[in-house]
Structure 1
Amino acid sequence: MRELPEVFRGSAAVAAGLVTPGRLRGKDFRRLLPDVHARADVPADLRLRSLAASVWAGPGAVLCGYSAAELLGRSCAPRGAPAEVIGTGSGVRSRPGVRVRRDRLHPGEIDRIGGVRITSRMRTAFDLARWLEPTEGVVAVDALARGEFAPDLLLNFAARYRGLRGVRRVADVLSWADARSGSPPETRLRLILVRADLPRPVPQFAVLDDERRRAVWLDLAYPAHRLGVEYDGGDHFATPERARADAARQTRLAAAGWRVLRYTADDMRRTPHRIVDEVRGALRRDAHHRELSITPGP
């Protein structure tokens, strides 16, 4: 078993004497796709299923879309998303768990990770921007662009591939994208705000703590109003140490004059209007207080 790759063709492994047919069908292995197997103790997440799709589709295939993003370390796919691959063989067709796409690729738009062919970071962002509905397209572009490239550079791909399906969506996605976003949930939270005509917050804003000579980073911030808006992933109180660190962080922000509003995934899904109302109200109250503070007395 140690000589087998992470994902492999069962017929090739049997022919090489690495495993017997009986053991391949047993509890030690999992069949992911026809003649494509992996060890049963490895989670069948999108990464593993994408590797399986690459093996199944053959040597000319290129992982793309959410699969390429996964291998690039920029996970942004919803749960249960299929593996995605650009296939070249006529017999390679979409099936449950694998979406096969037919598309044009320039050789410079293909990278390799661990011997697996994938679309480049920028080509992956371009494809997801045109394939996905607007919100998820922005989420994907933010994730792939973060610390790597300016999203507007994707307009070069839109000009090069004017005839590709969905290319007209790219400009709209880029109008909302921001490579400073720290995570997909933070992008979704930002979009709730800006699409409600609230001012654009600054992603990943550093509040300097002069006393400790360090920065406290906010997911989203309105610096002029000293208002932070954060995504609460539910892990803030996972351990006593994390809870204490989070409490100290909140204390430092409050001491610096910042108010922080925090929202969960459930808040964003169920009551986005409440988020908008609360942030808008906080901005208005701060603006009102500022006006009062500069109004000359009688």
Structure 2
Amino acid sequence: MGDVALPLDLASRPFTVAQGRAAGLRLPDLRTTRLHSPTYGVRAGSAPTSLTERAAAFAVGMPSDVAFSHVTAAQLHGLPLPQGLEAAEILDISRPSAHPRIRRQGCRGHRGLERREVVDLGALRVVGLADTWCDLAELAPGDMGVDDLVIVGDVIADRLEPGGVAALRAALDARVRPRGKARLLEAGALVRVGSRSPMETRSRLMFHRAGFPEPQLNSDVFDAHGGWLLEGDLVWHQHRVIGEYQGADHADRKRRSADSFRIGLAEDEDYTVIEIFAEDVFRPARRCTLLHRFARAMDLDPATLTIG
């Protein structure tokens, strides 16, 4: 900033031009290229880098009645999104319908905030979890499909327990002709509490669509004397079958050793443990082979299942 130093209370945060003027800065000082302008009417000593920093900078220049919503809310809540949306840079900002939607570069304005729950995440006003789930269905099906909504719904249902699934349904029921309602209804019927990762959810959906009995999620497995053995990702206790999803975090030698030991314990108690990998879910030939393997382990007739 040349010879001009920012006042101490403005040096570490974004501020409005009006706040800068009130702190004694001249207009030429506020127009210098040494200051960053994250959005109209806002200045900062350094450029925001993270999503939270960018949102905080925008919030300084926004009316007090707005909240971050849709994809931005999902990002701020740390919800799992499809790869194309995880790094979305446009900020979604909602406002009550009685006021004009926000229109400025770098953000996408929405209305209808009065029909959504708003929570505080640090210093940011953000649409709540259940309403964010509903808002995500406003995206095109190619960007946010049914399975993507189930994955997000599983995470939210866990976070809002007890009553997480009911909270999602209540948020949908409160909407009047919501966009993407058919996808939300289909996804809502498939949301379950207990999934620990997006791929565990995708694995569960694979079995559901093939017509398998519904497994218990991350369920405790005990030996014949009631001693705890392990927690299985997908457990069919009646059939004594366990499906274990093996993600990238299971690749190192120590983790593989621990997994092998756990599998041995279960097999000593007459459980069949079958590992599931991403390729088994996404590649049709491997999916078919895996489902046949599970059907044999459960003594299910493949003819009664949808195994393509």
TM-score of the pair, normalised by structure 1? 0.73
**Gap change, CA 1:17 and 1:76, over 3 Å in 2:** farther
The alpha carbon displacement at 1:147 in A equals 4.5
The alpha carbon displacement at 1:4 in A equals 5.9
Gaps of 5+ in 2: 1-5, 302-308
Query: Contact 1:64–1:119 (CA<8 Å) still a contact in 2?
Result: yes
Provide the C-alpha distance between the structure 1 equivalents of 2:204 and 2:275, rounded to a whole number of angstroms: 13
How many residue pairs align between the two structures?
279
The alpha carbon displacement at 1:102 in A equals 2.0
Which residue of the partner structure matches residue 87 of structure 2?
80
Which residue of the partner structure matches residue 258 of structure 2?
245
The alpha carbon displacement at 1:21 in A equals 6.2
**Gap change, CA 1:91 and 1:223, over 3 Å in 2:** closer
Which residue of the partner structure matches residue 276 of structure 1?
287
Gaps of 5+ in 1: 291-298
How do residues 149-160 of structure 1 correspond to structure 2 at under 5 angstroms? 149-160=163-174
Whether 1:226 aligns to 2:240 is yes
Whether 1:93 aligns to 2:103 is yes
Which residue of the partner structure matches residue 293 of structure 1?
none
Whether 1:204 aligns to 2:211 is no
The alpha carbon displacement at 1:209 in A equals 5.3
Which residue of the partner structure matches residue 190 of structure 1?
204
**Gap change, CA 1:286 and 1:184, over 3 Å in 2:** closer
How do residues 91-240 of structure 1 correspond to structure 2 at under 5 angstroms? 92-93=102-103, 95-96=105-106, 98-106=107-115, 109-129=117-137, 131=139, 132-148=144-160, 149-208=163-222, 213-238=227-252, 240=253
Identical aligned residues as a percent: 22
Which residue of the partner structure matches residue 8 of structure 1?
14
> Which of 275, 281, 285 is equivalent to 2:296?
285
**Gap change, CA 1:91 and 1:125, over 3 Å in 2:** closer
Per the alignment, in what secondary structure is the counterpart of residue 68 of structure 1?
Answer: helix
Provide the C-alpha distance between the structure 2 equivalents of 1:262 and 1:276, rounded to a whole number of angstroms: 9
Q: Map Cα deviations across residues 195-223 of structure 1 (whole Å, 9 max, x no partner).
A: 23333332222223578954522222222
**What is the CA RMSD across the aligned residues, in angstroms?**
3.9
Query: Contact 2:68–2:93 (CA<8 Å) still a contact in 1?
Result: yes
